[in-house]
Amino acid sequence: MISCTEFIPAYSQVFKFLHEKEGYNGVEKFWEHISDEYVEPRLGALVKEKGIAGCYEYWSKSLNEENADFVMTLDEEKGEFEIIMNKCPSKGMLLELDDDNIYPHYCDHCDILYRKVVEKYGLSYSFEPDKNNMPCCRLKITTGQNYE
């Protein structure tokens, strides 16, 4: 079976192509379509059924399939779910390639794909990509509105 990580350079090239043809808004529309058609039926269904625990179930599967180096925590009592990505396999692979293969806004897809879905179910979403172009980030989802 081919790993989803084998397609990372192709994803980056598609994002670059769309950006050249339609600008960043075109790329955002593409990501929103993926969110609606792929993420919502999976993550959305889990969040609808299980609340914030559905986030943990969803990312437990997807991040392990991608062989990511991450720490994931769920505190249902506090209403907090967090992923600290120590090494993102996608960004890590892209950084090893020629700069021509890297879409400069690649990491934005993690914000756009998932924010829309979790916020639909009343959860708050925070995404912090690394500011130094490293393959790490932080994602936090809470049941409340005020958090860091």
Per-residue pLDDT reduced to its tens digit, 1-38 = 566 667 889 999 999 999 999 999 999 999 999 999 99
pLDDT greater than 50 at residue 147: no
**Residue 77, burial from CB neighbour count under 10 angstroms (0-12, 13-18, 19+):** exposed
Query: Is there a contact between 85 and 12 (Cβ–Cβ < 8 Å)?
Result: no
Residue 19's CATH number = 3.30.1380.20
pLDDT greater than 90 at residue 102: no
CA distance 71 to 66: 14
Range of the domain at 20: 4-142
Three-class secondary structure of residue 80 per DSSP: strand
Three-class secondary structure of residue 74 per DSSP: strand
CA distance 148 to 146: 7
When divided into structural domains, the chain yields a total of 1
Mean pLDDT across 93-114? 90
CA distance 103 to 26: 14
Q: Does 148 map to a domain?
A: no
Confidence (pTM): 0.89
